[in-house]
A and B are shown apart, each in its own frame.
Chain A
C-alpha cells in the first residue's frame, strides 16, 4: 500500500476526526466508535463508487466467488448460538464478546458479497444433497435482489444486539443465543433457493423472535408472542400446501421429485377449464397469503402492533428492520415467479389493498395511537404498503424502488425503535401523553429523533424519498396495473401527506410544548453508548439518500431479468391456463444464467457423468450401450427441447387406439411431457378423451373412442 494509495483515503480520515469530535464529553471508546462509523461510511461510498469499479474489477476477478461464503454466513451464527450454550452463564462479558465476534465476522464476510459485480444470474452458488430421495437439497445463492437484504441483516442485527445488551441485564446468555439464531435463520431464508430449505428457515426464524418477545417482553408478552407465532404459522402452513402441490405437479410432469426453486419455476399448475386457472389462483393465494401475513398486508396486520409493543428494543429493531422484509422479498422472488399468471392478473386488486389498506389506512391508524411503539408499528404497515405497491407494479424502477425502500424502512424504523428504546429505558412508559417538551431536556435526542422522522417521512435528501418516488413513478408506468395505474399513483402520493401528519404529530407531542410532566424534568440526554449504536443508522440515512445509485446499480441486472421473466411467463401462463393437466414451461423460455443450478439439470448432469463413466470402464460388447439404469429412469425423457405441452394427446384430435398403442403412435420425438397414459394412470384403463382446447363448441366434446378402445 504505497503512500499514494494511503493518500486517497484522506476523506475517510477527515470523517473519522469529525466523528470523534462530535460528542462533548464521552469515553474514548465511544469517540472511537463514532469515528469508525463515520470513516466506514465514507469508505463504503468511495469503495462502491461506480467509476472506481474499473480499478476494483481486476482485484475482484482474483477473489472470485468462494462457494462456501454463504454457508459460512448462514452457518456461523447458528454454530455460534450452539457454542454459546456451553459457555458459563455468569461470564457476561465473554458472552457479549463472543457474540460481537461472530457478528463482526459475518458482517465482514457479507461485505465480500459486494465486491463481486452482481451480474444477471446467481452468485456464490453452492448446492449439496440433503434428502436426495425427496429431491431436497441445500441450494444457496445470492443475486442482485437479495444481496442488499443480506447485508442489511448482517448490518442491523449486531446494532440491535449492541443496543439491547445495554438495557437487558437478565438471562443474557439466552439473549445472545436468540440473536445469533435469528441472524442465521434470516440469512438462511434470504439465500435459500430450495423451497424446502426456505420453508425450514422461514419457520426457524420464528422461534428466536417468539422467545425474545416471550422472555424479555413487556406486560402482555405471552399473549403477543403467541399471537405473532400463530399468525405466521397459519400462513406458512398454507404456503407448505401450495409448495407440496407444486412439487407433486412437477413430479407428475417430469417424473422427478424436486423442491428446487429453479425447477418449480417451470411448472404451470393445472388450470381447471371451468374456472379461470382455478388451481393456479389457489396456489398463488396459498403461497402469497403466508407472505402477506408476514409483510404484513392490510387484513392480517394486527399482530404487528401487539408484537412490537411487547417486544424488547433489540427484538423490535430486528423484527421491524429485517423480518418484515422476508415477506416482501419472498413475494417478489417466489410468488411472482412461481405463479406469474395470477400475480399478473391480481396485481391491480392487490395494489388497491396495498394503497387503501396499507398506506392510507396504516397512516390513519398510526395517527390515532397513544403508544409511540404502536404508532411506529402502524407506520411500518404504511411503509410496507409502499413496498408491496412497488412489487405489484412490476416495473424495473418500481421493483428497484421497492427493494431500496425495504432497506430504507429497515434503517429508518430500526432507528426509530432504538430511539423509543432510549426513552423507554429512562421513563419505562411509551404513552405519548406522558411526554412533552423533551427537547429542552434532551436536545441531542430530539435532533436525532427529528432526523430519523424526516427519513421516515421521506424528505428528499434522506433515503425515504428515493424509494417512495421510484415506487410512485413505477406505479404510474406499470403495465399490470393498466388503467388503474394513474389513480393508484395518486393514492400512493397521498400517503406522503399522511406520513407527515402522524409523524410530526408524534414529534410535537413528545418534544415541543411546555415541560409539564415533573418526571421529565431531569431526564439525562442520550448517552454516548446509545448515540454510537444509533450513528450507523443516521449515517446510512444520508448515504443512501445522497448516493442511492451505488445500491441501485447492484440490483439492476437481477431486477431487469426477473421483471422480464415475470412479464413473459405471465403471458405464457395465461395461454396455458386452460390446460387440463398442468404443463412445463420450456427451458429456452428462461435465461440460461437463471436455470444454472437447478436440481433437474444437476441430476441430468450426474446421469450423463455416470453413463460416460460406465461406457469408459466396461466397453460393453453390444453395439448399443444398454441404457444404464439412471437413478430416475424417466430423466432421459426430460431435457428434450421439444414443444413443452404434451404433444401426443393435445395436438392429435383423435386419440390413438388404446393406451399401450399411444407410445408407438406418438411422433418419434421423445415427448417432453407426459405421454397421454402417464405413469399416474392405471395402464389398463383407456385414456380419458383429452379435452382439446381448440374443439369448436358446437362439435360434441370429444370424438367417441373407437368401440374397441376399452381393452
Chain B
C-alpha cells in the first residue's frame, strides 16, 4: 500500500511544481493560468492523500472551477494587451533579485532541515470520518459558525466591490440636460485623450473643485 501512495504523492508533487513553474515562467498569461490549474489539481491530490476529501472537493470546485476560470476569462477579456512585452531595461536587477531570492530561500530551507525530522514514524491511521464532509461540516457549523457567516458576508462584499471597481463611474444621465447630450463632447472626454471610447464614464472624472 505504502509504495502506491508514495507514487501518487510523487505524481501530485510533480504536477504541482511543474504547474507552479509554468505559472511563474510562462510568457503568455493563458499558459500561466493553465499552469495554475495544474498546481491546483496537484494540491487537491495531496489533500486526498492527507485524508481531506471535503477540502479536495472544495479545492476543485471553487479554486479550479471558479478562480482559474475567472483568470482565464479576464485574460481572454484583455486579449493581446495582457502579454507584457519583454522589457530588457530592468533585466539585470531582476536577475540579481532572483539570484538573491533563491540563495536566501535555499539557506532558509537548509536551516529548517537541520532542525531534524523527528516526525519519522508513519502516521497512525486517521480516525473514521476524519476529513469527510460530515466531520468537517459538523465542526464547521458548531464551533466555526461565526467565521462561516463572516466568510459569507466577505464574499458578498467582494462581489459588490468587484462590480463597483470593474464597472467604473457611469455619468449620471439625469444630471446632464438632454439637449447637448448628443452635440457637445462629454466634458471629461478631452481630459485623457483615450483613443477608443472605453465603455462607461472615465474612471477619474474630475468632480468638484480641486
Direct contact of A and B (CB under 8 A): no
The residues of A with any CB-CB pair to B shorter than 8 Å are none
